[in-house]
Amino acid sequence: MESIKEIEAIIEAVLFTAGDPVPLEKLSDIIGHDKKTTKNIMTDLIFRYKNASRGIMIREINKGYQFCTKPEYNDYIAKLGQVRKKQGLTSAAYEVLAIVAYNQPVTKAYIEKIRGVNSDSALSTLIDRNLIKEAGRDDGPGRPKLYETTEEFLRVFGFASIQDLPVIQLNEIQEVMENMPLD
Protein backbone atom coordinates (compact mmCIF):
# COMPACT_ATOMS: atom_id res chain seq x y z
CA MET A 1 0.00 0.00 0.00
CA GLU A 2 1.28 3.42 -0.93
CA SER A 3 2.14 6.00 1.66
CA ILE A 4 -0.01 9.12 1.83
CA LYS A 5 2.78 11.07 0.13
CA GLU A 6 2.84 8.56 -2.68
CA ILE A 7 -0.93 8.79 -3.05
CA GLU A 8 -0.73 12.54 -3.25
CA ALA A 9 1.89 12.27 -5.98
CA ILE A 10 -0.38 9.90 -7.90
CA ILE A 11 -3.26 12.34 -7.56
CA GLU A 12 -1.06 15.17 -8.80
CA ALA A 13 0.01 13.15 -11.85
CA VAL A 14 -3.54 12.08 -12.62
CA LEU A 15 -5.18 15.49 -12.22
CA PHE A 16 -2.37 17.09 -14.23
CA THR A 17 -2.86 14.75 -17.18
CA ALA A 18 -6.66 14.75 -17.08
CA GLY A 19 -7.11 18.46 -17.62
CA ASP A 20 -10.85 18.03 -17.14
CA PRO A 21 -12.38 17.37 -13.72
CA VAL A 22 -11.74 13.82 -12.50
CA PRO A 23 -14.84 12.43 -10.73
CA LEU A 24 -14.37 11.41 -7.11
CA GLU A 25 -15.40 7.87 -8.01
CA LYS A 26 -12.76 7.57 -10.72
CA LEU A 27 -10.11 9.02 -8.46
CA SER A 28 -10.91 6.63 -5.62
CA ASP A 29 -10.76 3.82 -8.13
CA ILE A 30 -7.34 4.91 -9.36
CA ILE A 31 -5.74 5.28 -5.94
CA GLY A 32 -7.46 2.18 -4.61
CA HIS A 33 -9.23 3.74 -1.63
CA ASP A 34 -12.89 4.09 -0.86
CA LYS A 35 -14.71 7.26 -1.73
CA LYS A 36 -14.83 8.55 1.83
CA THR A 37 -11.09 8.21 2.33
CA THR A 38 -10.44 9.72 -1.09
CA LYS A 39 -12.70 12.66 -0.25
CA ASN A 40 -10.80 13.25 2.98
CA ILE A 41 -7.48 13.10 1.18
CA MET A 42 -8.78 15.59 -1.42
CA THR A 43 -10.17 18.00 1.16
CA ASP A 44 -6.79 18.00 2.86
CA LEU A 45 -4.97 18.43 -0.46
CA ILE A 46 -7.22 21.30 -1.55
CA PHE A 47 -6.44 23.09 1.68
CA ARG A 48 -2.71 22.54 1.37
CA TYR A 49 -2.43 23.61 -2.27
CA LYS A 50 -4.42 26.71 -1.40
CA ASN A 51 -2.16 27.74 1.43
CA ALA A 52 1.20 26.65 0.09
CA SER A 53 3.09 29.08 -2.10
CA ARG A 54 2.08 27.28 -5.25
CA GLY A 55 0.92 28.49 -8.62
CA ILE A 56 -1.83 25.92 -9.00
CA MET A 57 -4.70 24.81 -6.81
CA ILE A 58 -7.36 22.14 -6.85
CA ARG A 59 -10.95 23.04 -7.62
CA GLU A 60 -13.89 20.87 -6.75
CA ILE A 61 -16.29 20.97 -9.66
CA ASN A 62 -19.42 18.88 -9.84
CA LYS A 63 -18.10 16.12 -7.57
CA GLY A 64 -14.86 16.04 -9.48
CA TYR A 65 -11.42 17.58 -9.03
CA GLN A 66 -9.40 19.70 -11.37
CA PHE A 67 -6.18 21.66 -11.26
CA CYS A 68 -6.30 25.32 -12.15
CA THR A 69 -3.94 28.23 -11.71
CA LYS A 70 -4.40 30.62 -8.83
CA PRO A 71 -6.10 33.83 -9.95
CA GLU A 72 -3.35 36.05 -8.53
CA TYR A 73 -1.00 34.82 -11.28
CA ASN A 74 -3.27 35.79 -14.17
CA ASP A 75 -1.15 38.76 -15.15
CA TYR A 76 1.94 36.60 -15.50
CA ILE A 77 0.07 33.97 -17.47
CA ALA A 78 -1.30 36.63 -19.79
CA LYS A 79 2.27 37.37 -20.83
CA LEU A 80 2.43 33.91 -22.37
CA GLY A 81 0.05 35.10 -25.07
CA GLN A 82 1.17 36.33 -28.42
CA VAL A 83 1.90 40.00 -28.23
CA ARG A 84 0.06 41.77 -30.99
CA LYS A 85 0.61 45.42 -31.68
CA LYS A 86 -2.31 47.47 -32.76
CA GLN A 87 -1.72 49.21 -36.03
CA GLY A 88 -1.99 52.95 -36.52
CA LEU A 89 -5.06 54.39 -38.20
CA THR A 90 -5.74 53.67 -41.84
CA SER A 91 -6.72 56.58 -44.06
CA ALA A 92 -10.29 55.20 -44.09
CA ALA A 93 -10.38 55.27 -40.28
CA TYR A 94 -8.97 58.79 -40.31
CA GLU A 95 -11.71 59.94 -42.67
CA VAL A 96 -14.47 58.42 -40.57
CA LEU A 97 -12.94 59.91 -37.44
CA ALA A 98 -12.84 63.36 -39.06
CA ILE A 99 -16.48 63.10 -40.12
CA VAL A 100 -17.55 61.98 -36.66
CA ALA A 101 -15.47 64.67 -34.95
CA TYR A 102 -16.89 67.53 -37.01
CA ASN A 103 -20.49 66.31 -37.15
CA GLN A 104 -21.09 64.44 -33.90
CA PRO A 105 -23.32 62.81 -32.99
CA VAL A 106 -23.65 61.22 -36.38
CA THR A 107 -25.12 58.07 -37.94
CA LYS A 108 -23.32 55.49 -40.01
CA ALA A 109 -25.61 56.36 -42.92
CA TYR A 110 -24.41 59.98 -42.82
CA ILE A 111 -20.76 58.91 -42.76
CA GLU A 112 -21.30 56.59 -45.69
CA LYS A 113 -23.16 59.27 -47.64
CA ILE A 114 -20.20 61.62 -47.26
CA ARG A 115 -17.57 58.99 -48.04
CA GLY A 116 -19.60 57.16 -50.65
CA VAL A 117 -18.33 53.78 -49.40
CA ASN A 118 -19.18 51.24 -46.73
CA SER A 119 -17.52 52.26 -43.48
CA ASP A 120 -18.24 49.33 -41.14
CA SER A 121 -14.68 48.21 -40.63
CA ALA A 122 -13.31 51.72 -40.14
CA LEU A 123 -16.05 52.35 -37.56
CA SER A 124 -15.29 49.18 -35.64
CA THR A 125 -11.56 49.93 -35.70
CA LEU A 126 -12.26 53.34 -34.17
CA ILE A 127 -14.56 51.85 -31.53
CA ASP A 128 -11.95 49.18 -30.81
CA ARG A 129 -9.31 51.88 -30.35
CA ASN A 130 -11.70 53.77 -28.13
CA LEU A 131 -11.63 56.89 -30.31
CA ILE A 132 -15.37 56.94 -30.95
CA LYS A 133 -18.32 55.43 -29.10
CA GLU A 134 -22.02 54.92 -29.49
CA ALA A 135 -24.08 57.86 -28.33
CA GLY A 136 -27.69 56.78 -28.25
CA ARG A 137 -29.97 56.60 -31.25
CA ASP A 138 -31.24 59.03 -33.82
CA ASP A 139 -34.95 59.93 -33.78
CA GLY A 140 -35.21 59.29 -37.51
CA PRO A 141 -36.69 56.22 -39.21
CA GLY A 142 -35.15 52.96 -37.99
CA ARG A 143 -33.66 54.84 -35.05
CA PRO A 144 -30.06 54.34 -36.24
CA LYS A 145 -27.15 54.40 -33.78
CA LEU A 146 -25.30 57.65 -33.28
CA TYR A 147 -21.56 57.97 -32.84
CA GLU A 148 -19.45 60.55 -31.10
CA THR A 149 -15.82 60.96 -30.14
CA THR A 150 -14.48 59.82 -26.76
CA GLU A 151 -12.32 61.23 -23.99
CA GLU A 152 -9.52 59.11 -25.42
CA PHE A 153 -9.98 60.99 -28.70
CA LEU A 154 -9.47 64.30 -26.92
CA ARG A 155 -6.47 62.93 -25.06
CA VAL A 156 -4.76 61.51 -28.15
CA PHE A 157 -5.25 64.71 -30.19
CA GLY A 158 -4.49 66.95 -27.26
CA PHE A 159 -7.82 68.75 -27.26
CA ALA A 160 -9.33 70.06 -24.07
CA SER A 161 -12.80 69.73 -25.60
CA ILE A 162 -14.54 69.29 -28.92
CA GLN A 163 -14.52 73.10 -29.27
CA ASP A 164 -10.74 72.76 -29.75
CA LEU A 165 -11.15 71.11 -33.14
CA PRO A 166 -9.38 73.25 -35.76
CA VAL A 167 -11.83 75.57 -37.48
CA ILE A 168 -12.70 74.91 -41.07
CA GLN A 169 -14.08 77.72 -43.25
CA LEU A 170 -16.67 76.71 -45.77
CA ASN A 171 -14.69 78.30 -48.58
CA GLU A 172 -11.74 76.00 -47.79
CA ILE A 173 -13.75 73.07 -48.91
CA GLN A 174 -14.81 75.10 -51.98
CA GLU A 175 -11.21 75.94 -52.85
CA VAL A 176 -10.03 72.40 -52.78
CA MET A 177 -13.02 71.50 -54.87
CA GLU A 178 -12.21 74.06 -57.53
CA ASN A 179 -8.75 72.66 -57.88
CA MET A 180 -10.10 69.20 -58.32
CA PRO A 181 -10.83 67.81 -61.75
CA LEU A 182 -14.50 67.02 -61.88
CA ASP A 183 -14.52 64.04 -64.15
- Which residue number, 10 or 98, has a Cβ lying nearer to its own copies? 10
Residue 135 binds what, of its own copies, other proteins, none (CB under 5 to 8 Å, by partner type)?
Answer: none
Distance CA 105, CA 136 (A): 9
Asked whether the beta carbons of 148 and 126 are under 8 A apart, the reply is: no
How many CB atoms lie under 10 A from the CB of residue 42? 20
Interface with its own copies, residue 53, by CB under 8 A = yes
Contact 88, 129 (CB under 8 A): no
- In the range 22-81, which residues lie near other proteins by CB under 8 A? 59, 66-72, 74, 77-81
Q: By CB under 8 A, tell whether 160 contacts other proteins.
A: no
Q: Which of 29, 27, 25, 31 is nearest to 1 (CA)?
A: 31
Q: How far is CA 3 from CA 27, 31, 33, 133, in A?
A: 16, 11, 12, 62
What is the pairing mode between strands 64-69 and 56-61? antiparallel
CB of 19 to its own copies, least distance (A): 9
Of 31-39, 41-49, 139-147, 159-167: span binding other proteins (CB under 8 A) = 159-167
Query: What track of x and - describes contact with its own copies for positions 106 through 135 (by CB under 8 A)?
Result: ------------------------------
Distance between CA atoms of 122 and 94, rounded to whole angstroms? 8
Question: Rounded to whole angstroms, how far apart are CA atoms 134 and 156?
Answer: 19
Q: What is the binding site for other proteins (CB under 8 A)?
A: 13, 16-20, 59, 66-72, 74, 77-89, 91-92, 94-95, 97-99, 101-102, 113-118, 129, 155-159, 164-166, 168-170, 172-174, 176-177, 180, 182-183
Q: What is the binding site for its own copies (CB under 8 A)?
A: 3, 5-6, 8-14, 16-18, 22, 26, 29-31, 53-56, 67, 69-70, 73, 76-77, 79-80, 82-83
